[in-house]
Amino acid sequence: MKADLSQADEDILYPSSIPFVLLHLACFAAIWTGITWQAAAIAVALYWLRMFAIGAGYHRYFSHRSYSTSRAFQFMLAFLSQTTAQKSVLWWAAKHRHHHLHSDTEHDVHSPRHRGFVYAHLGWIFSSRHDEADLSTVSDLVRYPELRWLHRFELAPALILAGLTFLVAGWPGLVVGFCWSTVAVYHGTFCINSLAHVHGSQRYVTGDDSRNNWFLALLTMGEGWHNNHHAYQASARQGFRWWEIDPTYYCLRLLSWAGIVWDLKTPPPAVLRNEHRLGSKVIERAAADLAATFNIEAILASSGFLTDCAGREELLGSPLDTEAVSEKPTGLHRPRLPTREEVGERARTMFVKTCSIDAIAARAHGMIIDAVAQRSSPSAIGR
């Protein structure tokens, strides 16, 4: 764990984090500029407008293509999204698609499970390995020259908006209207990467730590229904129940009535009822988490298995069958493996309801058997 933390520390591009820190410090300039009602109103308006841009633009449209729109409105969404100073639309979408591909694995760009809460919240943004984005993952977006222009001049929209707030409301407009709202949008967005993978409830088995968090949903206009989103990523609607407030989706519905957006994707009935079968990747990840709850060393040690070479050779030379193992003579020192039923019982207490629970348990049972065989091999004993 210490090695991981030191690696994360060495990986940070400290010069690139300076503007981020200065923007936070600039918020304290309100002590000298004062806070006017006009500046406060600008801050509130810009927070909700740009939070909508993050959810409807960066996330649901550019990252997941959960609805369709015109090229003109696409550019408007991209420009408005980049006024948040969260890098370019191409960078954001590429990193987010990578996140879903490797969610909460060691390859995830921002997993609290593997790199810690602070790194997942904001540290990863300044990591050298994430400074550039793999644009091959967003080839559907790269083909637009206007989006490539925004990628090249990623801070231009934010600087233009900052200048406008100063022209409209002076220094209070810049400090309170722009800086305060920008910092608030930063951390509202970042909380989805950190808090929404730590605190909340899980309705679906997704093979990761995504959570539904009603408080974050209120702060982020619906993005806090994160477990829902990971269960069906293509949906423009993330609040699957009527009581799960999702203002971003409501705004998209209004825009669809005006013909500005269309083809809004929603989850199929089987997903809403949590009756859909999980994909192989989700089953594999969930099974790995389940198998990890069984202590392989304790299984081996409890039988004195490591002291009997004949037992190891017989085990490795034939398939492991839990019931057969229990019937073997004790002189072979076979490990007492958990039965598939025991693994299934733990699966049902560990995960929420899913029709794929038996598939998860069966795969986890196989992983446990493989781990015992691997640990009991002569080469493993030699080490």
Residue, of 331 and 185, whose pLDDT is higher? 185
pLDDT for the residue numbered 316:
43
The Cα 241–Cα 233 span in angstroms is 16
Average pLDDT, the chain: 87
The b/e string for 165-183 (b: 16+ C-beta within 10 A; e otherwise) is bbeebbbbbbbbbbbbbbb
pLDDT band of 304, cuts 50, 70, 90? low
Q: Is a pLDDT exceeding 90 seen at residue 149? A: yes
For residue range 172-231, what is the model confidence (pLDDT) as tens digits? 999 999 999 999 999 999 999 999 999 999 999 999 999 999 999 999 999 999 999 999
pLDDT for the residue numbered 19:
87
For residue range 249-300, what is the model confidence (pLDDT) as tens digits? 999 999 999 999 999 999 999 999 999 999 999 999 999 999 888 887 777 7
Residue with tokens 């733990």: 346
- The residues with which 69 forms a beta bridge, in sequence order, are 261
Q: Are 324 and 336 in contact (CB under 8 A)?
A: no
**Tokens representing 163?**
């200048």
The Cα 143–Cα 73 span in angstroms is 16
Q: Is a pLDDT exceeding 60 seen at residue 62? A: yes
Q: Are 350 and 290 in contact (CB under 8 A)?
A: yes
For 299: left if phi > 0, alpha if psi spans -120 to 50, otherwise beta; the answer is: alpha
Nearest Cα to Cα of residue 332 among 309, 299, 302, 298: 309
**Tokens representing 211?**
């959570």
pLDDT for the residue numbered 303:
56
For residue range 157-188, what is the model confidence (pLDDT) as tens digits? 999 999 999 999 999 999 999 999 999 999 99
